Amino acid sequence: MNADLAYFAALQEHLGALATAERPAIERAARAVADSVAAGGVVHYFGSGHSQLVAVEPLQRAGGLAPVNVIADPALSPAAPRRAGAAERVSGYAAAILRTADIRAGEVVVVISNSGINAVPVEFALGARETGATVVAVTSRAHSLAAASRHAGGQRLLDVADIVIDTHGGPGDTVVPLGGLAVGALSTVLGAALVNALTCRAAQLLAEHHGQVPPLIVSQNTDADAEHRNSALLERFRDRCPRG
């Protein structure tokens, strides 16, 4: 089989696992998000390295929730992978990020880390929980358990989160064997699919269980009034969420 077709086949298999095996975890996370947003809360997303790409995905996204705050530290940016790879191992760095993050009790913090073994995502999750927030981890159990924790206390992200959504990715993230190596990373695609699925279910719960019109962004490329409607919606959350 061609490598590109093998990648698509693996991706379909993993997406199927998310829709079945992870359904209970997604439901729990969606209910937490819906309850928080219904009460006026904000959903926070955090990731380091390539996981930061997934954290940014729901920010002012077409079909996404307006009350979304992304905590994207520049030192952890995937645009500088070597720096991010070093920074995310530094114990104590998460505390500095948390000091300027306006996370409140009752809100939801989604922490994305494929390996879940580095100090920063683990300590960030622990710190977010101390504020009274519900922490949702998006991580690979298989990858995490196959590697040694780099957290001072030996914990992994899956050990400290309130809700764990497993991407079902394998150790090393890649899925297509190629001459003794492997190509085709899955974590970014699977993570983006998960946060969008979480948004879909949370929006549905806001409407059906809370009787609220979900505060959803529409594509600014659909009609002349879309940008105006989005601006009016985002204005409600401007003190908590970046406008860009």
Range of the domain at 142: 3-235
Sign of CA dihedral 43, 166, 171, 17: negative
Statement: residue 44 has pLDDT above 80 = yes
> What pLDDT, on the 0 to 100 scale, is given for residue 176?
94
Share above pLDDT 90 across residues of the chain, in percent, rounded to a whole number: 82
Q: Kindly report the pTM of this predicted structure.
A: 0.95
Give the per-residue pLDDT at 232. 87
- Residue keyed to tokens 């940016």: 77
Is 242 inside a domain boundary? no
Mean pLDDT of 159-177: 94
> What is the DSSP secondary structure assignment for residue 169, as one 8-state letter?
P
pLDDT tens across 71-120, in order? 999 999 999 889 999 989 988 999 999 999 999 999 999 999 999 999 99
Report the CATH number at residue 203.
3.40.50.10490
Closest-CA residue to 47 (of 57, 32, 37, 33) = 57
Distance of CA 242 to the CA centre of its chain: 17
Asked whether the beta carbons of 43 and 65 are under 8 A apart, the reply is yes
Confirm whether 244 is domain-assigned: no
Give pLDDT, residue 222.
Answer: 80
Report how far residue 32's alpha carbon sits from residue 190's, in angstroms, rounded to the nearest whole number.
21
Question: What per-residue confidence (pLDDT) applies to 230?
Answer: 83
Query: Angle at CA 96, nearest 5°, toward 95 and 98?
Result: 65
Count of domains forming the chain: 1
Q: What is the mean pLDDT of residues 60-78?
A: 93
Any idea which of 76-80, 153-157, 229-233 has the lowest mean pLDDT? Answer: 229-233
Tell me the β-bridge partners of 109: 44, 135
Q: Average the pLDDT over 3-16 and give the result.
A: 96
Averaged over 36-48, what is the pLDDT? 97
Q: Is the pLDDT of residue 243 over 70?
A: no
**pLDDT per position as a tens digit, 180-211:** 899 999 999 999 999 999 999 999 999 999 99
pLDDT band, very low/low/confident/very high, at 165 (cuts 50, 70, 90): very high
pLDDT at 219: 86
**Is residue 11 a part of any domain in this protein?**
yes
Q: Is the pLDDT of residue 224 over 70?
A: no
Q: Is residue 211 part of a domain?
A: yes
